[in-house]
Amino acid sequence: MARNSAKPEEEAQAIDLTPMLDVVFIMLIFFIVTATFIKEAGIEVNRPEATTADEKKRASILIAVSNNNEIWIDKNRVDPRGVRQAIERLLAENPKGTVVIQSDSEASIELLVDITNAAREAGVNDVAVSTEKK
């Protein structure tokens, strides 16, 4: 019984897909490493409206303040006395980080000022308050 085997010429003409797979995996690794991930503060807030709102592209440290003055950083509720330590920890991960405070429109202004002062004491010079554009 004779077997049908491929001729040597057909084997030589086969396309080797290994280099193409290598390139695809290298591209996949590149996109995973360079991708920016969306960070969330942890709660949804009703931000105040402002006519002079500017868009901030690279906010790496998000702090949310709820309407009952709860502070949320990195999806964790934080005591007001621990805000500076939380910012310092996140700043160690990203030294060029900026702070954006998402304060509810009914939150205490005094708490907003305390958070801004804690961010400045932690070494962050770029602190912004998130608003809705009017």
Q: What are phi and psi of 97, to 5 degrees?
A: -70, 150
State the DSSP code for 81: G
CA distances from residue 56 to 43, 60, 100, 134 in whole angstroms, order as listed? 19, 10, 9, 16
User: How would you classify the pairing of strands 61-65 and 127-129?
Assistant: unpaired
CATH number attached to the domain at 49-133: 3.30.420.270
Residues in CB range of 113: below 8 A, 6 or more apart: none
pTM of the model: 0.63
pLDDT (tens digit per residue) in 34-60? 776 656 666 777 676 676 666 766 667
What are the structural domain ranges in the chain? Answer: 49-133
Strand ranges inside the chain, DSSP E: 49-50, 61-65, 71-73, 76-78, 99-103, 127-129, 132-133
Residue 37 in contact with residue 59, Cβ under 8 Å? no
Q: How many residues does the chain have?
A: 134
Average pLDDT for 29-37: 79
pLDDT tens digits along 74-108:
888 989 899 999 999 988 888 887 888 888 888 88
